[in-house]
Amino acid sequence: MKHELEPFYIEPLSWKNLRSALNLLNRVFPRESQGGERPFVFFTATLCSVGRLLLKWKGYPFVSYWVARDSENGAVVGTVGLYTKADDDEAYWGGWMCVDPKARGKSLGMALSYRAMVEATKRGDRKYARLYTSTDPNEAAAQIMYDQMGLEVYREEDEPGTGYKRLYRQIEL
């Protein structure tokens, strides 16, 4: 089901939009594509039953992603994910939220974040929505958005090799 947001729409990740979503993530998070958390593995695994079983075995019982597409040309301009961890039964985690730099400033990041929170609320079996981000200056606008959404920082730690802090944020569902 598409969710219309002039001039964007949000739809589930699919084989059709996978390559474009990964290309966007690699541009926005180049450090991750060079040995970090590897969005390719998670995104691809969610699209087939064997992959979902592998994610569950690795400690992620539920994982889902959505993409935002430009209404005019269909280009993927944003992504967001939602997942659970086997060792954390109180929270849904947001993952791989990004917006193409050319599409920023149009509330798309907030719309994507709310899409994930609506799913978490609908599922109704966790107390919090959580995510982690960092003090990297490239994420400064995201920090403002998370503050506006009411996602409070509840923990900080050094992010190895970067000089930045990893910020853990949450909001009660």
Query: Residue 56 is encoded by which pair of tokens?
Result: 């569950």
Q: Say if residue 100's pLDDT is above 90.
A: yes
Looking at every residue in the chain, the average pLDDT score rounds to 91
pLDDT at 3 over 70: no
Give percent of the chain above pLDDT 70.
92
pLDDT at 35: 54
**pLDDT tens sequence across 15-45:** 999 999 999 998 988 766 555 567 888 999 9
Identify the pLDDT of residue 34.
52
Whether the pLDDT of residue 82 is over 80: the answer is: yes
3-129 CATH pick, 3.40.50.970, 1.10.3720.10, 2.30.29.30, 3.40.630.30: 3.40.630.30
pLDDT of 37 reads 62
Tokens at residue 150, please?
A: 């009411």
pTM (2 d.p.): 0.89
CA 169/CA 150 separation, integer angstroms: 9
**Is residue 35 within 8 Å of residue 6, measured between CB atoms?**
no
Q: Residue 68 pLDDT > 70, yes or no? A: yes
pLDDT digits (tens, 9 = 90+) for 105-115: 889 999 999 99
- Identify which of 127, 83, 133, 84 has the alpha carbon closest to the alpha carbon of residue 109: 133
* Single-letter amino acid, residue 12: P
